[in-house]
Structure 1
Amino acid sequence: MSDDRLRGLVQRIQRLQAERADISKDISDVFSEAKAVGYDTRIIRQLLKRLAMRSEDRHEADEMLERYEADVGITGSSTPHVDMAPRHREPFVAPAGATSEEQLRAIISKMLELRAERVEMNAGMALELKRARSAGFDPRKIVEACMWIEKCDKHGRPQMLAAEELFQIYREIGEGPRPEPRVEGDSKLVEMFAGPAPAEKKAPTLKQRKVSDALAYAQISRKNRGLT
């Protein structure tokens, strides 16, 4: 990575940080204005938080809050909330000669089942990565290694290694010229981008140096005499 590119990235980050600071100050000013005219800023913050929620999530949170308040004796009477656990749905399989509605119901049933499994798997993977971090490993590298192994299982390790070598060629070309570039891989790609190998430069001979000096002196002499 070139210094210019790094400098550009840092400058962009600095500009965004400055904009974020300005926006934070503007938000603070609006809260101050609301407080000055008699509004409760704590309630406004709660309102903003609720507005950011989806309507179904907001409704579910309201129901849960009412139940918890009842449990601790703030309002109403305590009611068991066993139904707050994830609802168990019986899987629906479309029968032979199913109608369009039954086919759609079966698809939705399967999708819900798969989505529930995905939630559990994501939670399990997050827990494993948390344990990895606690043990001193880099979770991102673990994810990258898993993705690499999955691709090897899908495409074969030799093909993945060949693809990695080809990617290295593109990366070296994208980073620009380097001293003594070493390009390996697909011969056609090398031919297209690398070009012919540069000829080895040899030191000029004594005769060549004398001729070069004579030409230089002649050019200086012509300029001194006003000749082009």
Structure 2
Amino acid sequence: MAKKLNSGNFSTEQLNQLVARIERLEEEKKALADDIKEVYAEAKAHGFDIKILRQVIRLRKLDKADLAEQETLLQVYMEALGMDTDHSAAAE
């Protein structure tokens, strides 16, 4: 029979199971983080800018409305600071 803990309605067995699951998930998370790090290293080896690639990944997570709002605010802030936001002029 599972022993009840004094401060709750669950057993030590349940607690052990929960802790074991969390530990397994933490290991999986670390393995995934290592895999992601390897992919970024591969991208860098192929000449991609990692800082920009991370920004692209972050932006792709946003929905269209949030992305549009961020782009608009960035443009407003840059213009307020006197920064050139007309990229077409740089191409000429």
* Category of TM-score, reference length = shorter chain: 0.7 to 0.9
- In structure 2, what is the equivalent of residue 120 of structure 1? none
**Residue type of the alignment partner of 2:77:** Y
State the Cα distance separating 1:67 from its structure 2 match: 1.0
One of 65, 72, 84 as aligned partner of 2:74: 65
Q: Does 1:47 align with 2:47?
A: no
State the Cα distance separating 1:29 from its structure 2 match: 0.4
Listed as ranges, the matches of 1:1-228 within 5 Å are 1-75=10-84
Extract unaligned runs of 5+ from structure 2.
1-9, 86-92
Q: Where has structure 1 moved over 3 Å in runs of 4 or more?
A: none
Q: Distance between the aligned counterparts of 1:68 and 1:61, measured in 2?
A: 10
Total equivalences in the alignment: 76
The structure, 1 or 2, with the larger RCO (C-alpha pairs under 8 Å, 6+ apart) is: 2
User: What percent identity do the matched residue pairs reach?
Assistant: 34
**Residue type of the alignment partner of 1:64:** L
Extract unaligned runs of 5+ from structure 1.
77-228
Q: Distance between the aligned counterparts of 2:73 and 2:11, measured in 1?
A: 54
Q: Distance between the aligned counterparts of 2:22 and 2:67, measured in 1?
A: 35
Q: Distance between the aligned counterparts of 1:11 and 1:64, measured in 2?
A: 45
